[in-house]
Chains A and B, each alone.
Chain A
Amino acid sequence: MNAPLVDTSVSQRLGIVDCDIHPTQRSVADLFPYLSEHWREHSKSIGPHIRQGLAAMQAYPRMMAAGQRADAYPAHGGPPGSDLDLMRRQHLDPAGVETGMLVALSKGGMEERNPDYATALAHAVNDWQLHDWVRKEPRLRAGVVVPQEDPAFAAREIRERSLEPAFRQVILSPRSIEPLGRRRYWPIYEAAAECGLTLGLHPAANGANPSTGGGWPTYYMQEHYAFGTNMQSNLVSMVFEGVFERFPRLKVALIESGFTWIPAMCWRMDRHWARMRHEVPHLKRPPSEYIREHVWFATQPIEEPENAAHLPEIIDWIGWDRLLFSTDYPHWDYDDPKYCIRFRMTEQQRSQLFRDNARALYGLT
């Protein structure tokens, strides 16, 4: 029997920072305390309006338990991620989570087409994160969700939330209307940089465009694969459109897209930039240098090579100071910190990967 390299002492020895935890509302009613009468009524009578054919279900149905950990459904009802006690018992305590970064995908307005409703939802979800989660559980930190296709309102929300230390980053979906480097989104980056908030890119389930440049996939396996290619495209976009030249203090975390693709993508960018640099004179340096300086990478879903020793080679190329540990609790492709790292690390690398890099990036103490 070939058991994985399990280090059960990780959580005892080292509190971890989990950079991807998903809280969910039991229903939209959880947001009612934070929505005006108008929007409460709107949510009941009109409801969400998104950019896909199926209004309230996944057009690529997931393989297990609607894409959740099958054991994460609260016994008394409600979706996974809606019960703080269960989250503590099932994840925060046993995984040794010192700090958990919330990524509130559900109903945060990132996919809503009605711009005013999107703004109201984002504001309500931010209130909800603060009052229903962070104030109740001191290990948690919130990510500002914004109506990302309406950058002026997004920037206003960022500036307002930045005054509250519970909010440590701004969450955007790479399934945007335009690639995230495009100038329409720059007011968001201006606000984030000004407020010292990291930008966390995390895939949403639905998007405004086909999920690949060649059209819509057929199967969920393909759709899931495209999470990675979309993250690549958005990284390319942010670099080549000049976001990091314009906002030299901006820091970006790419969440839930793995990390082994980073070196090859950097090589590709540098190589073709070298030939085509006259088209992008606003770039003053090779693309990889901007990435080395501005971008962090969350580990999940961690790639699983046939030879596990190939992973630390890739991390050597990226830099051990740039990886953030993440689990994606309570989603199906959860990475358990006790099981998912199958290669050897030095004590320093272990601390960096599980805790220190995230502490430094997000200013956690």
Chain B
Amino acid sequence: MKVPFAGAIDCDLHLPSPSMAVLMRHMDDFWREQFVTRRIDRMDFQLTSFPPNTPLAMRDDWRAPAGEGETPLDKLRREALDPFGARIAIGSILHGAIGLYNEDMAAVICSAVNDHLARDWLDHEPRLRGSILVMGSSPDHAVAEIERLAADRRFVQIILPVMGDFLPGKRQMWPVYRACEKHGLAVALHAGSTYRYPPTGSGWPSYHVEDYIAQSTAFENAIVSFLAEGVFNEFPDLRLVCLESGFTWLPTLLWRLNKEWRGTRQETPWLDRPPADVVRERVRFSLQPVDAPADGALLTRTLAHIGSDELLLFSTDYPHAQFDGDNALPEGLPADLQRKIMIDNPPACYPRLAAEAKEIAP
């Protein structure tokens, strides 16, 4: 169904990946020379997780280039911000730099991506907020990048692919989460992998569509990792946001986790209450894709199984092809839940959006 009222917060929107020529404006001489001499500047840095020409990667009607005299930002406004009445949209650039093994090089590109996001997008569109792209494989670099950008309050989260160099709850990552908590940034995991490992526990599937479907299982294991390692205990104000994860698989996660915890909690005794309660309190999920039948009845029951109206955050996942026309909301959402998802839940999840709302309020 169409979005019934204006003022939504779109929590997962993708901005186009900039060319290296654009990014090199934000780099020093050493790296510019490296990229030119090694012809890295001519590489497209496409991630295997997001082949750009597949039907899933971009909706057909959004594939046309910007019109005559139209800037990329104008196109974004026309296609994604205006039609869905977004008051705020959190933009991300999932640049292929995160697939490199050279951590210093990757970190330089990530910094350039973040600077480009701030200068070329956030500076020009007050509705946009940003995600800080960081290197999960190099927590040191990630912390430095967070500290560098923390003062820019328009960045509201960091973003990592759900499958990286190690499961994201592991203690190597804790300095990153400490920095996020300190600065009021949420931690967003987005569908995608740097393919350090096969995307399934049984090895490499043949087809892109299998890899894409496997993302939901990666989110399951990432959440279990956060819980078991005790990230939520160590960082009591931290929120985990799962972007483009799907959410209809949540009932099994909640039920299975509670059952397992009762038999295994001695191994991780810091996990001192039912894990489903912790998930409901600390983990949030972007709305799209809605992996449910179109008629809405089963989705309604699934939401009852999930047992909370606070977990979902409105998202268009623009420009990925997750819905047709203006139907950014699935059938089967009760009216009060629509309001929660679009208006109330995002600021409750993002400390920086909550703070803004307070400043605006008289």
Name A's B-contacting residues (CB within 8 A): 63-64, 174-182, 207-222, 224-226, 228-230, 232-234, 236-237, 240-241, 258, 260-261, 263-265, 267-273, 275-276, 278-280, 301, 303-306, 310, 313-314, 317, 332-333
B256 interface contact, C-beta 8 A? yes
Q: Which A-B residue pairs are the 9 nearest by beta carbons?
A: A233-B200, A229-B217, A268-B291, A276-B209, A212-B221, A230-B201, A213-B199, A303-B255, A264-B248
B258 interface contact, C-beta 8 A? yes
With A213-B217, A214-B166 as known contacts, state yes or no: A240 contacts B291, CB within 8 Å: no
Residues of A within 8 A of B251 (CB): 260, 264, 305, 310, 314
Cβ–Cβ contact B55 & A175, under 8 A: no
Residues of A within 8 A of B291 (CB): 264, 267-268, 271-272
Q: Which single member of A175, A212, A220, A232 contacts B167 (CB below 8 Å)?
A: A212
Residues of B within 8 A of A180 (CB): 202
Could you say which of B8-16, B23-31, B67-75, B261-269 contacts chain A?
B261-269
Q: Mark B179-210, 1 if CB is under 8 A from A, else 0.
A: 00000000000000100111111111111111
Q: Mark B283-301, 1 if CB is under 8 A from A, else 0.
A: 0000001011100001001
Q: Which residue of A lies closest to B208 (CB)?
A: A279
Cβ–Cβ contact B218 & A221, under 8 A: no
With A236-B210, A272-B56, A279-B54 as known contacts, state yes or no: A217 contacts B228, CB within 8 Å: yes
* Most-contacted residue by chain B among A209, A212, A217, A333 (CB, 10 A): A212
Residues of A within 8 A of B289 (CB): 268, 271-272
With A175-B201, A222-B224, A236-B210 as known contacts, state yes or no: A213 contacts B256, CB within 8 Å: no
With A221-B264, A276-B209 as known contacts, state yes or no: A234 contacts B217, CB within 8 Å: no
Name B's A-contacting residues (CB within 8 A): 54-56, 162-170, 193, 196-210, 212-214, 216-218, 220-222, 224-225, 228-229, 246, 248-249, 251-252, 254-261, 263-264, 266-268, 276, 289, 291-293, 298, 301-302, 304-305, 307, 321
Q: Which single member of A213, A269, A270, A275 contacts B163 (CB below 8 Å)?
A: A213
Q: Which single member of B196, B204, B209, B293 contacts A240 (CB below 8 Å)?
A: B209
Cβ–Cβ contact A261 & B249, under 8 A: yes
**How many angstroms from the CA of A234 to the CA of B205 in the assembled complex?**
9
Residues of A within 8 A of B221 (CB): 212-214, 217, 222, 225-226, 229
Cβ–Cβ contact A232 & B210, under 8 A: no
Cβ–Cβ contact B261 & A221, under 8 A: yes
Cβ–Cβ contact A304 & B264, under 8 A: no
Cβ–Cβ contact A216 & B167, under 8 A: yes
Residues of B within 8 A of A278 (CB): 55
Residues of A within 8 A of B212 (CB): 272, 276
Give 5 pairs: A residue, B residue, CB < 8 Å, sorted on A: A209-B200, A213-B199, A214-B162, A214-B167, A265-B249
Cβ–Cβ contact A219 & B267, under 8 A: yes
Q: Which single member of B56, B167, B264, B267 contacts A215 (CB below 8 Å)?
A: B167
Cβ–Cβ contact B202 & A264, under 8 A: no
**How many angstroms from the CA of A271 to the CA of B244 in the assembled complex?**
14
Cβ–Cβ contact A178 & B222, under 8 A: no
Cβ–Cβ contact A213 & B263, under 8 A: no
Residues of B within 8 A of A264 (CB): 246, 248-249, 251-252, 291-292, 302
Cβ–Cβ contact B216 & A276, under 8 A: no
Cβ–Cβ contact B209 & A225, under 8 A: no
Q: B258 → chain A, closest Cβ, in Å?
A: 7
Cβ–Cβ contact A229 & B220, under 8 A: yes
Q: Which residue of A lies closest to B301 (CB)?
A: A313
**How many angstroms from the CA of A28 to the CA of B168 in the assembled complex?**
40
Q: B29 → chain A, closest Cβ, in Å?
A: 37
Q: A196 → chain B, closest Cβ, in Å?
A: 26
Residues of B within 8 A of A175 (CB): 201-202
Residues of B within 8 A of A64 (CB): 263
Q: Which residue of A lies closest to B205 (CB)?
A: A179
Q: A197 → chain B, closest Cβ, in Å?
A: 21
Residues of A within 8 A of B304 (CB): 310
With A272-B56, A276-B208, A304-B255 as known contacts, state yes or no: A207 contacts B167, CB within 8 Å: no
Cβ–Cβ contact A275 & B198, under 8 A: no
With A229-B220, A313-B301 as known contacts, state yes or no: A207 contacts B202, CB within 8 Å: yes
Cβ–Cβ contact A275 & B56, under 8 A: yes
Residues of A within 8 A of B209 (CB): 240, 272-273, 276, 279-280
* Most-contacted residue by chain B among A210, A226, A272, A305 (CB, 10 A): A272
**How many angstroms from the CA of A210 to the CA of B196 in the assembled complex?**
10
Residues of A within 8 A of B228 (CB): 217-219, 221-222
Cβ–Cβ contact A304 & B56, under 8 A: no
**How many angstroms from the CA of A100 to the CA of B81 in the assembled complex?**
60
Cβ–Cβ contact A63 & B267, under 8 A: yes
Cβ–Cβ contact B264 & A237, under 8 A: no
Q: Which single member of B55, B202, B213 contacts A234 (CB below 8 Å)?
A: B202
Q: Which single member of B207, B213, B293, B305 contacts A310 (CB below 8 Å)?
A: B305
Cβ–Cβ contact B200 & A230, under 8 A: yes
Q: A270 → chain B, closest Cβ, in Å?
A: 8
Cβ–Cβ contact B205 & A236, under 8 A: yes
Residues of A within 8 A of B193 (CB): 213-214
**How many angstroms from the CA of A338 to the CA of B89 in the assembled complex?**
53
With A63-B266, A214-B222 as known contacts, state yes or no: A174 contacts B165, CB within 8 Å: no
With A225-B221, A273-B209 as known contacts, state yes or no: A214 contacts B202, CB within 8 Å: no
**How many angstroms from the CA of A207 to the CA of B198 in the assembled complex?**
13
Cβ–Cβ contact A229 & B255, under 8 A: no
**How many angstroms from the CA of A261 to the CA of B291 in the assembled complex?**
12
Q: A80 → chain B, closest Cβ, in Å?
A: 17
**How many angstroms from the CA of A44 to the CA of B254 in the assembled complex?**
46
Residues of A within 8 A of B267 (CB): 63, 219-221
Residues of B within 8 A of A258 (CB): 252, 256
Q: B51 → chain A, closest Cβ, in Å?
A: 10
Q: Which residue of A lies closest to B268 (CB)?
A: A219
Cβ–Cβ contact B252 & A230, under 8 A: no
**How many angstroms from the CA of A224 to the CA of B262 in the assembled complex?**
13
Q: A310 → chain B, closest Cβ, in Å?
A: 5
Residues of B within 8 A of A177 (CB): 202-203
A-B contacts besides A217-B224, A222-B225, A263-B298, 16 pairs, CB < 8 Å: A180-B202, A209-B201, A211-B201, A214-B225, A217-B221, A218-B225, A221-B228, A224-B260, A224-B264, A225-B224, A225-B256, A230-B202, A233-B200, A236-B205, A276-B54, A332-B263
